[in-house]
Amino acid sequence: MCNLKKIIFITALLCLSLIAYSYADQPLVETQLPNSLSEGLMHLLALVDPGQRVAFDAQRIAPLLEFVKTTKPRNALYYANPEIGSPSAYYDFDIQRSFTDLLKYNFSPDIPAVATTPSSTRLSYWEEIEHHGNKLPSLWKESSSLDAPIVIKGSEVFENTPDTFSGAYYKYDLYRSIIVFAYNRQKVLISISKQKDASRVGNKGYILGSDENWDYYYTGRPGITLPGLGWIRTHMYDSFGISIYHEMDKDAPLLRCAVFKCVRAGWAKINVVKTMHIYDGLLRFSRSFKEIMESPRLPAEAALAHVFSGIRNQPVTALQAKMNIYAQILQKRYGRTRSPSAKWKPEILQNKSHWARMSKLEMQSALVVEYMKSALGKTKEKEVEKLFDLKP
């Protein structure tokens, strides 16, 4: 029986891989990154490895930084030398924001990561930070001159949103390093992550409506949502990522955002991730990140920090009351009609025990996303006024 299940699983995932390659408007051509970039990538990965005591050297990543700034063919699907990690993918895009804005909104101790990456992140928090009082410093205050690189190291807990293919979401521990430095009189931030161990077992999650709505349902039950394969207990076996944010013009609000990522995940120690799957995840991340950071309605970082502080300081009982309201909001959005191809039933939104089981951090995360949607005009104020007491 186990062999039969294994055959069914592998066959289904091979079909998924073929489907994934039909997403692009034009055929993507898998292209290996130039070998000249390998030394720089390896240097950055050594920096995040706690077993190696390596000093950051900007010159060793100079070819990588120059590559990030170049214009690439639109149909190129880049991946790294397999000796560095496989499968992998690379993607870059631009946002009309200053380097200071990047630091204030995305690397702040007062603004959670889910606020600017809601389609990719459910939870993300530092467990430990070397030095700095075990707290992420206000980098925008420390990066005015950058006479010397700022290097921050520590560990994080991360949980992603449901995967668009399998519906699985994973929680895992990361080593994280952040480097802020000046290169050719332009500012650069590099964020490096390395998964510590295999993730907890993947749980079933549902994307409610369009992924662009940032509405997700986390069942807390092991498995995936593909028909006939819900029993599979999957894991993320290994992953690492390198995100580079390069100031393109110090006098203009323009940043080049480049992400290199490697992921291995599957069932029974079989990796089923393909380069295209990773690339699709990077596109997913870039869409919501760009939408938020370039929105003319994005509140000032101080205003967001104030709101999120209020959310963090609410007692569990108050958050649970908010979740009852949140459940009612989702029922109004999705409880009556749904696509015939949807993998979930509207009745799940009425399961009161589901909302009662949520942890404090999970409840806070849901409120942060709903507040961001309201602030950006993705939802109407009247729809969420009870959730945030927007009116007396």
pLDDT digits (tens, 9 = 90+) for 339-362: 545 677 888 888 888 999 999 999
- Same structural domain for residues 220 and 362? no
- Give residue 9's pLDDT: 52
275-293 and 99-106 helices cross at what angle (nearest 10)? 100
- Same structural domain for residues 249 and 391? no
What are residue 379's phi and psi, to 5 degrees?
A: -130, 160
- Give residue 22's pLDDT: 38
The region that residue 220 occupies, defined by phi over 0 for left and psi between -120 and 50 for alpha, beta otherwise, is: left
**Strand ordering across the sheet containing 216-222:** 168-169, 203-207, 216-222
Mean pLDDT of 97-123: 96
Residue 250 near residue 185 (C-beta atoms within 8 A): yes
Lowest pLDDT segment from 119-123, 144-148, 352-356: 144-148
Tell which wins on pLDDT, 13 or 324: 324
- Same structural domain for residues 312 and 260? no
Helix, strand and coil in the chain, % to nearest 5: 40, 25, 35
Mean pLDDT of 308-335: 94
- Same structural domain for residues 386 and 305? yes
- Same structural domain for residues 221 and 338? no
- Same structural domain for residues 48 and 36? yes
- Give residue 340's pLDDT: 47
pLDDT in tens, 20-60: 343 445 689 999 999 999 999 999 999 999 988 899 999 99
- Give residue 21's pLDDT: 41
Mean pLDDT of 265-269: 91
Tell which wins on pLDDT, 4 or 350: 350
Mean pLDDT of 120-146: 87
E-strand ranges in 41-138 read 76-79, 88-95, 121-129
pLDDT in tens, 70-96: 999 989 999 999 999 999 999 999 999
Residue 230 near residue 87 (C-beta atoms within 8 A): no
Cα distance between residue 101 and residue 116, in whole Å? 12
- Same structural domain for residues 273 and 309? no
- Same structural domain for residues 301 and 284? no
250: domain CATH number?
A: 3.30.530.20
Entry pTM = 0.91
DSSP 8-state code for residue 37: G
- Give residue 90's pLDDT: 98
Q: Which of 65, 69, 67, 46 is CA-nearest to residue 56? A: 46
Burial of 201 (0-12, 13-18, 19+ CB in 10 A): middle
Domain boundary residue among 250, 271, 291? 291
Domain boundary residue among 274, 291, 308? 291
Counting the structural domains of the chain, the total is 2
Mean pLDDT of 252-278: 94
> Chain-wide mean pLDDT for the chain?
90
- Same structural domain for residues 131 and 68? yes
pLDDT band of residue 132 (cuts 50, 70, 90) is confident
- Same structural domain for residues 203 and 343? no
Cα distance between residue 392 and residue 388, in whole Å? 10
Domain boundary residue among 291, 309, 330? 291
Please check the confidence at residue 104 and state whether its pLDDT lies above 70.
Answer: yes
- Return all residues near 254 (Cβ < 8 A) that are at least 6 apart: 94, 95, 96, 97, 247, 248
At 188, the amino acid letter reads V
Please check the confidence at residue 181 and state whether its pLDDT lies above 70.
Answer: yes
Task: Provide the residue range defining the domain that includes 49.
Answer: 2-291
- Same structural domain for residues 46 and 140? yes
Count CB atoms within 10 A of the CB of residue 76. Answer: 13
Could you tell me the two tokens for 153?
Answer: 């190291």
- Same structural domain for residues 100 and 129? yes
At 15, the amino acid letter reads C
